[in-house]
Amino acid sequence: MTEIAIVDDQADAGRIAADLIVAALGRRTDPTLGLATGSTPLPVWAALAERSLDLSAVRGFALDEYVGMPDGHPESYRVVVDRDIVGPLGLDPARVRVPGDDGGPLAEAGERYEAAIAAAGGIDLQILGIGRTGHIGFNEPGSSLASRTRLKALTPATRADNARFFDSIDDVPTHCLTQGIGTILDAGVLVLLAFGESKAPAVAAAVEGPLTSSCPASAIQLHRRAVVIVDEAAASQLE
Ligand code: F6R
């Protein structure tokens, strides 16, 4: 079932998502949070950090990571996760994983990541942004709705969107490792956030469009508890 919350501003969205996270993490002694990078979740991390909770026992699994960047690159998601999430929330960096950060062969990185998630007992709550292409994680249009963590190519639209974090679009990696749509759907609760008019078509397709791999985010319609938190602009194309 999909629940939709239309909020006045991003701070409100952050507070609602933080409430959902606190509730989900309270159900286990060693809970697991699914992390998203990008701009959208920043108000969530800010709202959660404000609560000064002891989150040192929480395990984290990021949705995705670029491939082919030198270790420690400031825009690699390992570095972004440590800077934007692990530090402000007081997570234990050793309990937080990003795909491919174990130094093993790239070809089997997806299988190893899936095994690590399973060993942690699955993900209790997954935070999601959405791309203009309708991607969740880096599952671009055409991704199998049953997909698991694997190597993928980024679309030109997503590389253009993410060029704002790099000196030029040529510096944006062409490939990534991403949790699959099947991986994402296994999480106990999904919380998808979107802000701004540029996300409105993707939000409408995800929530009200047909279930189709042309809009990977439409897969959330299959989930028993998906909460979509949007501002007025991102909600503007909902019926
Ligand atoms: C990030 C991720 C992506 C982003 C999406 C939106 O880990 O998996 O799906 O959530 O590209 O990015 P922002 O929030 O920067 O608009």
Instruction: Look at the block and give the residue holding tokens 């790099």.
Output: 166
pLDDT the model gives residue 227: 98
pLDDT the model gives residue 46: 98
CATH of domain 2-231: 3.40.50.1360
- Taking the centre of ligand 1 as the mean of its atom positions, its distance from the CA of residue 38, in whole angstroms, is 5
- Taking the centre of ligand 1 as the mean of its atom positions, its distance from the CA of residue 171, in whole angstroms, is 18
- Taking the centre of ligand 1 as the mean of its atom positions, its distance from the CA of residue 161, in whole angstroms, is 9
Residues 98 and 60 sit within 8 Å (Cβ to Cβ): no
Q: Percent of the chain, pLDDT > 70?
A: 100
> Is any atom of ligand 1 closer than 6 Å to the C-beta of 110?
no
3 state SS of 127: strand
> Is any atom of ligand 1 closer than 6 Å to the C-beta of 135?
yes
> Is any atom of ligand 1 closer than 6 Å to the C-beta of 40?
yes
Question: What confidence tens digit (pLDDT) does each residue in 157-173 have?
Answer: 999 999 999 999 999 99
Model-level pTM? 0.98
In the chain, which stretches have pLDDT less than 70? none
Domain spans of the chain, in order of start: 2-231
Measured in whole angstroms, how far is the alpha carbon of residue 195 from the centre of its chain? 14
Provide the β-strand partners of residue 5: 229
pLDDT the model gives residue 102: 95
- Taking the centre of ligand 1 as the mean of its atom positions, its distance from the CA of residue 188, in whole angstroms, is 20
Please name which of 163, 157, 166 lies closest in space to residue 201, comparing C-alpha atoms: 157
> Is any atom of ligand 1 closer than 6 Å to the C-beta of 34?
no
